[in-house]
């Protein structure tokens, strides 16, 4: 089992835990807008680290970004496998072709 699969399972198991004992449960209790805002904050922090941080900082912020994305996907009942399937669907397409296909 890979790291992201284990993380997805851990998040699922902690969503309904006592918020005093689980960060995932705290985010779940606070609601989707808070989860989305936290994901946005992590995206900005990752971007800033990529521009001015060292590799260790970029790695840490990237891990935070992936974690918060996984929490939001769980809240939406979207399996990470579905995201991977979409990436698989796009494989072999140029980025420009794929982007143009979304406009139609």
Handedness of CA 6, 7, 13, 17 (dihedral sign): positive
> Which pLDDT does position 16 carry in this prediction?
94
pLDDT at 98 exceeding the cut of 70? no
Closest CA to 3 of 75, 61, 46, 67: 67
pLDDT in tens, 27-75: 999 999 999 999 999 999 999 999 999 999 999 999 999 999 999 999 9
Tell me, which fold does domain 3-75 have in CATH? Helix Hairpins (1.10.287)
**Could you tell me the residue ranges of all domains in the chain?**
3-75
pLDDT at 102 exceeding the cut of 90? no
Q: Rounded to whole angstroms, what are the CA distances from 6 to 3, 10, 22, 102?
A: 5, 6, 16, 31
């Amino acid at each position: 089992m890979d790291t992201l699969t284990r993380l997805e399972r851990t998040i699922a198991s902690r969503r309904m835990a006592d918020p005093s004992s689980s960060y995932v449960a705290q985010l779940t209790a606070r609601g989707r807008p808070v989860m989305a805002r936290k994901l946005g904050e992590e995206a900005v922090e990752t971007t800033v680290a990529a521009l001015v941080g060292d590799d260790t900082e970029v790695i840490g912020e990237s891990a935070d970004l992936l974690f918060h994305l996984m929490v939001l996907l769980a809240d939406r009942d979207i399996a990470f496998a579905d995201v991977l399937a979409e990436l698989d669907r796009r494989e072999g397409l140029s980025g420009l072709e794929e982007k143009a296909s979304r406009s139609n």
